[in-house]
Amino acid sequence: MFLRRRQKPLPAGKHFRMSRRFNRHSAADFGLMEQSENLALCQADGSLWEKAALYDYGWGPENGYYKLPLPDFPDLMEILLHEESDEDVYGAAAIIERDYPEALLAQCEQFMQNTTHSAEFQKLSQVFRLHSPINRCPVVGKTSAEIQSDSERWKRIADFAAASSCSGKG
């Protein structure tokens, strides 16, 4: 008989609280106290959290909350690249994909051009699955030429991500 080592629960995110395979639903499941249908309170520090659909691991957006106020793009990138909690990393990624896809495109291109940011590019590649040539930018209100340009830029990023993962560089 093998004894399984009891795994420590992952630390709750400082900025995001997120389910994994939909294992949490209510505010209480996330260690929060429900205030309204979409708002909850963290009793430990008095912070307010808003309910949100977060990262999609492939089976649909996970349930979760983000701490108010919601950070802007530079702060979300900082969270994604440097926080240890998966809830924070993937929560930030979900908001970046939803609200800042064009800023993400520009950031990826900047990291591709600057080899001192290879570790950061690798992290973005892993979290956003950049090896897949998907146009993540919105298309509504754009011309076909603008959509094509975005698609080509994402394709270059996908090619670079695929080559970087094969060669171990980035």
The answer, yes or no, to whether residue 169 has pLDDT greater than 70, is no
The pLDDT of residue 170 is 47
The answer, yes or no, to whether residue 10 has pLDDT greater than 90, is no
71 phi and psi angles, rounded to 5 deg? -65, 160
pLDDT confidence bin for 2, thresholds 50/70/90: very low
The pLDDT of residue 117 is 87
Containing 49, the helix (H) or strand (E) segment is strand 48-56
The answer, yes or no, to whether residue 8 has pLDDT greater than 70, is no
Structure tokens at 159: 């090619």
Spatial distance between the Cα atoms of 117 and 36, rounded to a whole number of angstroms: 42
The answer, yes or no, to whether residue 100 has pLDDT greater than 80, is yes
- Mean pLDDT, the chain, as a whole number? 90
Spatial distance between the Cα atoms of 145 and 143, rounded to a whole number of angstroms: 5
The three-class DSSP label of residue 25 is: coil
Which pTM does this prediction carry? 0.88
Spatial distance between the Cα atoms of 101 and 140, rounded to a whole number of angstroms: 13
Lowest mean pLDDT across 1-5, 14-18, 36-40: 1-5
Q: Within 10 A of 167 (CB to CB), how many other CB atoms are there?
A: 8
Domain ranges of the chain: 16-76+87-99, 101-167
The answer, yes or no, to whether residue 96 has pLDDT greater than 50, is yes
Which residues pair with residue 61 across a beta bridge?
56
